[in-house]
Chains A and B, each alone.
Chain A
Amino acid sequence: MISGFALAVAAPWLSRIAGKHGGNLLAMLPAVLFAYFLGLVQPVTGAGPISEITRWVPTLGVDLSFRVDGLSLIFCLLITGVGTAVIAYTGAYLASHEQLGRLQAYLLAFMASMLGLVLSDNLLALFVFWELTAFTSYLLIGFKHHEDKSRGSALQAMLVNGLGGLCLLAGVILLSNIGGNTSIVALIGQADAIRAHPHYLAALLLVLMGAFTKSAQFPFHFWLPGAMAAPSPVSAYLHSATMVKAGVYLLARLSPVLGMTPEWVGIIAPIGALTMLIGAVMAFFLTDLKQILAYTTVSMLGALVMLVGINTQESMAAAMVLLIVHSLYKGTLFLVTGSVEHGAGTREIGELGGLRRAMPLTAAIASIAALSMAGVPPMLGFISKELWYESSLQLALGGIPLVAASVVANGLGFALAGVVAYGVFFGKPAHPDPHPHDPNFAMSAGPLLLAGLGLVAGLFPGLLIEPLTGAALTAMAFDASHYHLALWHGINPAFALSLLTFALGAALYTGRERVVANLGRLAGMGRYGPKRLYELSIQKSLAYARFQTNLLQSGYLRSYVMVVVLTSVVMVGLSVTWDKVQSIVVPALDVRLHEVLLAVVILGAALMMARIGASLAAVAALGVVGYGVALMFYLFSAPDLAMTQLSVETLSVILFVLVLRSLPEAKSLSSRSTRIRDALVAATAGGLMTLFLLIVLSEPFQSRLSGYFNENSAPLANGRNVVNVILVDYRAFDTMGEITVLAVAAIGVYALLKMRKGEGGSR
């Protein structure tokens, strides 16, 4: 399993090599992984979860512990299965695109992170993969990075998901603190204690923030339609089939830990229902195929969240089946949209119609998928809807609004399925491109396979879906021994609701134009939604950042110096209390005339520099200061320092002269008053340093290290010059860093030089 993941991580590299050989080759990787996970179905459903642990950051409790159970297996199969279709499709869809390799690399990287996400048993590792999916999603949405809209949408998705990710991180940390463990399996064991903990609600809300942003729940739903700026296969993969389901996955995964409480049901189910309604209603008013699909995706994500929120065995089973069926049909429809755009040149439903003749295969695929979307038997979509209704009907009185919302949303979904498939492929021919055509095999195979799976799974639910969802239920701590899936549940209230849905859907489809015309004005209300809030907050924070930058970064170096100096003066000054000043003990060493003279010379030269400024005389004065300091070192027992300082000073005077030679004589640029002000600030700072040093000197001296250095230099380190031994032996690592700095400085100089030469050539 880890090898499969490692292979996927190496995929960007592989794709760069194989990029030109088409997507089919690359699709092999997810296909092989799919087969691998398919092979795991038997052992997992039979013998229970498989896990494997690698320590990663043991101190923080972050392990790469992978665990395959029913729930993750469903996701793995979806990720690799849809991944195979999408990657093969992409190779053909963007065959002429020069950066196809880049897109495929992103897709594979995304697939790897998504697999990591669903396989991790460790909460922190899960979070890392969670963020990785957001990151790859950012890259994929912004794939057409030369377009403003793409970049904006990518940023929006990134920010919304980033917000959720941070909340999730906080939630995860809180959760692992409460439970004392980062392993999900271990946390499930402590579920009761966690649910009773006072911080339970906070942890729940934080985790929900993460899940809701990822799965585009109200009020964060707006990023998903924006994310449709990505190429169609990306939308199919990330923003419909897999990534956005990560939020649902997280909820399902943590439901045994956090679920089964009034808070869980009370918060999640209504928000899911609300999102479901909003998404369906908004989709109804749109005319762009892809946008319609985007909003119906929001709607179905809402439904999934709602079902997970209800948190009964039936609702969880319904959620799992719905999850699978939705990925299958919605992924297909997105790919079909890509094919339609490819073949007919538009995505506007008003301009499309009767494509059946020109694109028979695509039409067939779309019809199968749409039937599943509409929930018509014998599609898998029908089974999921039956389960969904059954589970909501089992709720007490509070379930009635949920049932009503579900019926409305499904009715709208039915109508939209009609719009997407029937309207486009049947009916009156109308399209701008005179010669629409079916795409080639690679583009048709994927969607055909996905749509076909939806049909087969509906006809034989016991074949694959039943054991999988059963194992997933076990993973969510339900007893699934009596669990059974069937296409036909008999005539019961759920079936009645299905019939009602069909009727409503058919009515909505035929009356769509009239409804849209009458209520179209209301759709403009969307302007005041959460998206507006998002835009406002972005604008405001940008404006604030600009204001802050202008305030703090005037662009004048000297004001920065001034700010730094004044800040330090105030900070140091505050710590220098009167007591300390009084406690200064004038140190013991006696005063000698030649040393005092030297001190006067140094000080005098420095003051002279301040007066005369930039000229050769100032450099000479600097030399005097340097040599004076060197002499001081010599006088006070530091011959090494003296020698080094002397050589350095000589060389630096040479450098200064070399530079000043080519510069004009400096003139006084500031006014007299500015200079006096600066002089005052500088003098204060200088005086404070004097005081500071005196206080330091009054404290008793402690040198714990030097004793060790002194004792061991000769016997152990074979050196009698202790300073040198410190440099090349005890603290050689520091010296190593230092010479690296020097090397970097030299390379910098060298680069500046080369740059000049290069420019000279081009001019």
Chain B
Amino acid sequence: METILAIVIGGLYGTGLYLMMRRSMVKLVLGLALLAHAANLLIFVGGRLVRGVPPLVANGAIAPPDGSADPLPQALVLTAIVIGFGVQAFLLVLLKRGYTLMRTDDLDDMRTTET
């Protein structure tokens, strides 16, 4: 199963980077979103996969059950998801603002600082 996920992650990286190399700014942001997914999954899978045993302590117990998933990568990814969202939203606002100022989505037309 990890192999399949590794391929998915590779695919996400590939498509994300490809989109980032386009001239359109929207595609850049889309690509960045894919890249974020790829990175999150990478960390998650790198922390080893476990089915159906979340790192929760049962009521009355002291520690999570044996063989439960590693909580640390999950905490890291959780942070990354939210930060990724914040950055993406900022980029979108920037994109929209850039478009209203310059009337173009083409990054090559945005090389001057003059509007």
Contact = CB atoms under 8 A, between A and B. Distances in A.
Contact of A710 (B48, B52, B71, B81): B71
Contacts of A589: 1-2, 49, 51
A551 interface: no
A541 interface: no
Contacts of B23: 558, 669-670
Interface in B82-97: 82-90, 92-97
A507 interface: no
B12 A703 contact: no
A606 interface: yes
Contact of A637 (B38, B53, B92): B53
B110 to A, nearest CB: 9
A727 B82 CA distance: 12
Given A586-B2, A749-B93, 16 more contacts: A558-B23, A562-B21, A565-B17, A565-B21, A592-B1, A607-B15, A644-B81, A652-B89, A662-B100, A689-B13, A714-B61, A715-B62, A721-B56, A727-B78, A752-B97, A753-B93
Given A607-B11, A613-B22, A734 B79 contact: yes
A261 B55 CA distance: 73
Given A606-B15, A636-B69, A644-B81, A614 B24 contact: yes
* Secondary structure dominating the interface of B: helix
B3 A586 contact: yes
B37 A629 contact: yes
13 contacts: A565-B17, A610-B19, A625-B34, A626-B33, A638-B54, A644-B81, A659-B92, A659-B93, A663-B26, A682-B16, A690-B9, A713-B57, A722-B55
A723 B53 CA distance: 13
A428 B42 CA distance: 90
Contact of A641 (B42, B59, B64, B78): B78
A197 B91 CA distance: 59
A635 interface: yes
A623 to B, nearest CB: 10
Interface stretch (A2-10, A333-341, A484-492, A735-743): A735-743
Given A589-B51, A591-B1, A683-B14, A745 B97 contact: no
Contacts of A690: 6-7, 9-10
B72 A726 contact: yes
B37 A625 contact: yes
Interface residues of A, number: 100
B22 A669 contact: yes
Scoring A561, A591, A651, A660 by chain B CB atoms within 10 A of each residue's CB, the highest score goes to: A561
A701 to B, nearest CB: 5
B54 A637 contact: yes
Q: Lowest 8 A-B CB distances belong to which pairs?
A: A686-B14, A690-B10, A614-B26, A682-B18, A637-B69, A720-B57, A722-B71, A726-B75
B26 A660 contact: yes
Contacts of B41: 629, 632
Contact of A742 (B38, B64, B83): B83
B4 A595 contact: yes
B107 A556 contact: yes
Contacts of A745: 86-87, 89-90
Scoring B1, B44, B55, B62 by chain A CB atoms within 10 A of each residue's CB, the highest score goes to: B55
B87 to A, nearest CB: 6
Contact of A648 (B20, B51, B82): B82
B92 A641 contact: no
A599 B85 contact: no
Contact of A557 (B28, B34, B89, B100): B28
Contacts of B51: 589, 635-637
A609 B15 contact: yes
Contact of A626 (B37, B79, B87): B37
Contacts of A595: 1, 4
B74 A723 contact: yes
A696 interface: yes
Nearest to B79: A738
Given A641-B44, A655-B89, A591 B4 contact: yes
A662 B99 CA distance: 9
Interface in A700-751: 701, 703, 705-706, 709-711, 713-715, 720-723, 726-727, 731, 734-735, 738, 741-742, 745-746, 748-749
A639 interface: yes
Scoring B79, B88, B111 by chain A CB atoms within 10 A of each residue's CB, the highest score goes to: B79
Nearest to A678: B21
Given A561-B20, A666-B105, A731-B75, A638 B69 contact: yes
B33 to A, nearest CB: 6
Contact of B20 (A558, A607, A663, A693): A558
A640 interface: yes
A644 B86 CA distance: 13
A694 B14 contact: no
A613 B27 contact: yes
